[in-house]
Chains A and B, each alone.
Chain A
Amino acid sequence: MSRARPVRPEDVRRVRPGHGANCSSIGSVVDTLFATAAVGAALFAAVMAALETEPVTVVGGDPPEDDEEDAL
């Protein structure tokens, strides 16, 4: 799969860092919320770089038919 162009930062809606390893509730890294702009920018830059370099494997097929819950 060849890339058409670089991904634009404004087309990235959400970044959830890390794996998380809790088996009971879904977790979110929060130190990014309080980090300096430089730290946040560095992480975002690493994400953008990975988007340009990691090979793409599509999984899961098409999403189920649209319904009201998809608009949450």
Chain B
Amino acid sequence: MILRLERWGAWVKLADPAAIVALDRDAVRALGVDGGRAWDGPARPGGPSRPVEVHLAVTARCGAGCTGCYLDARPDGLEPPFEALVTALDAMRDAGVFTVAFGGGEPTTRDDLDALADAARARGLTPVLTTSGLGLSSARAERLRAFAQVNVSYDGPDGAYASVRGFDGAAAAEAAIARLSAAGVRVGVNVVLTRASFPRLRETMARARALGAVEAQLLRYKPAGRAASLDYLAQRLTSAQACSLGPTLRALTDAFCQSGDFHVRIDCALVPFLSADPDLAGDPARLSRWGVFGCEAAAALSAVTAEGRVAPCSFGPASAARPADLARGCRDDAELRRWRRPAGASAEPCASCSLALVCKGGCKVVASFVSGALGPDPECPRVVARRGGGAA
């Protein structure tokens, strides 16, 4: 296991089962590790002092042309040199980061991707990858074995994919899922939830699982890059769909996760929608204990752009901070500090929300686009109810 000290204890990354675990000081001492100077003073409750996960844009190049690309990636996008990315990996190692998620742009446009994965492994980082899967050959799939997991963007069959991305790449994505699985790569799917793709979730997950995927990550559609337009308002989930997320997840778990070989994951931006589920909202300790993360921008999560700047998350604006600043949690960057703070924590409806400590005010990217502030999330069911409106 890899252990990183925190003032309240430590974060630990286990190999088998793959998991990240937060331990109190007593548990860390039980492992034979003493916090030394890090534990001077009382152990106040706290979060991660530095990211546990960093998203690294290894290119801004992509020819897919998805209508809602959050990076506005283009075929002539910037491709950072290998050495610059290795320097960023060095900085992540020094900061005690556990996981580096390679993205872009389309990462597989790089011929040195497997070498980058090896470089991450050599630094104790767990490399994972997101790809469109477009054009992924069996031979290339086999070269991705150094990644702990590869997720393919797959929003569903029979038009669901096209409804999200503006072209029908479902067949290519499905081929990639099958090829990765056949190559022995642990493969998952990223499913972007729009009002058109949401009703198709069950068949999307059934198809992905049948092709060999072992996990589905559900992603809220976010108004960044090319999606930062009025069309966002037509694509985003309806209020009714947002409120039904909890029951939907319960049904998907019942249908696909009982044997333990397939998992459902939600992204940070979907957590506010769980506040509409009485069972989950009534038991916030369950979410916390099972490590559900809401907005962790510039906290447990950071991103490094293709230009080599630190951003609070992949959708947020690049700051002036460099990867070397991750070791100090980018404490000196005022913009990242602003993004790190929970949004609306001291005001209603967040102040009385049982999930506030997990959710942290919802998605700041959505909030800044829709309401011009970093939160609270204007599409959270509690916020919608308080304001007497809806995202119809």
Contact B17 A61 (CB under 8 A): no
Contact with A along B323-342 (1 / 0, CB 8 A): 00001110100000100111
Contact B254 A34 (CB under 8 A): yes
Q: A13-B23, A19-B148, A72-B46 are in contact. List 18 more A-B contacts (CB 8 A).
A: A4-B31, A7-B23, A11-B26, A16-B290, A17-B18, A21-B151, A27-B293, A31-B253, A33-B290, A35-B253, A39-B260, A46-B17, A50-B16, A54-B1, A55-B1, A59-B4, A62-B5, A64-B327
- In angstroms, Cα B34 to Cα A56, docked, is 12
Give the contacts of B115-130 with A (CB-CB under 8 A).
124, 126, 128-130
Interface residue B347 (Cβ < 8 Å from any Cβ of A): no
Tell me, rounded to whole Å, the shortest Cβ–Cβ distance linking A43 to chain B: 7
Contact B20 A67 (CB under 8 A): no
Q: A16-B291, A29-B263, A31-B253 are in contact. Are A56 and B32 (CB under 8 A)?
A: yes
Contact with B along A53-72 (1 / 0, CB 8 A): 01111111111111101111
Interface residue B207 (Cβ < 8 Å from any Cβ of A): no
Interface residue B27 (Cβ < 8 Å from any Cβ of A): yes
Q: A20-B265, A61-B96, A63-B38 are in contact. Are A33 and B280 (CB under 8 A)?
A: yes
Contact B37 A47 (CB under 8 A): no
Contact B45 A11 (CB under 8 A): no
- In angstroms, Cα B9 to Cα A13, docked, is 10
Q: Which of chain B's residues have a CB closer than 8 A to the CB of A35? A: 253, 257
- In angstroms, Cα B189 to Cα A43, docked, is 23
Contact B124 A23 (CB under 8 A): no
Tell me, rounded to whole Å, the shortest Cβ–Cβ distance linking A63 to chain B: 4
Contact B24 A34 (CB under 8 A): no
Contact B300 A26 (CB under 8 A): yes
Tell me, rounded to whole Å, the shortest Cβ–Cβ distance linking B60 to chain A: 13
Q: A23-B103, A25-B268, A62-B37 are in contact. Are A17 and B19 (CB under 8 A)?
A: yes
Contact B215 A18 (CB under 8 A): yes
Tell me, rounded to whole Å, the shortest Cβ–Cβ distance linking A36 to chain B: 9
Selected contact of A58 from candidates B4, B104, B250, B313, CB within 8 Å:
B4
14 sample A-B contacts, Cβ–Cβ < 8 Å, listed by A number: A19-B128, A19-B148, A21-B217, A25-B222, A26-B53, A29-B263, A34-B249, A51-B23, A54-B14, A59-B4, A60-B94, A63-B329, A69-B329, A71-B44
Question: Which of B168-176, B235-243, B281-289, B373-381 forms part of the interface with chain A?
Answer: B281-289
Q: A47-B19, A56-B31, A70-B44 are in contact. Are A15 and B1 (CB under 8 A)?
A: no
Q: Which of chain A's residues have a CB closer than 8 A to the CB of B183? A: none
Selected contact of A15 from candidates B31, B47, B190, B289, CB within 8 Å:
B289
Selected contact of A12 from candidates B27, B55, B252, B268, CB within 8 Å:
B27
Tell me, rounded to whole Å, the shortest Cβ–Cβ distance linking B373 to chain A: 19
Tell me, rounded to whole Å, the shortest Cβ–Cβ distance linking B330 to chain A: 9
- In angstroms, Cα B46 to Cα A70, docked, is 5
Contact A16 B19 (CB under 8 A): yes
Q: Which of chain B's residues have a CB closer than 8 A to the CB of A51? A: 1, 12, 14, 21, 23, 27, 31
Contact A4 B30 (CB under 8 A): yes
Tell me, rounded to whole Å, the shortest Cβ–Cβ distance linking B312 to chain A: 11
Q: Which of chain B's residues have a CB closer than 8 A to the CB of A1? A: 31-33
Selected contact of A25 from candidates B219, B264, B287, CB within 8 Å:
B219
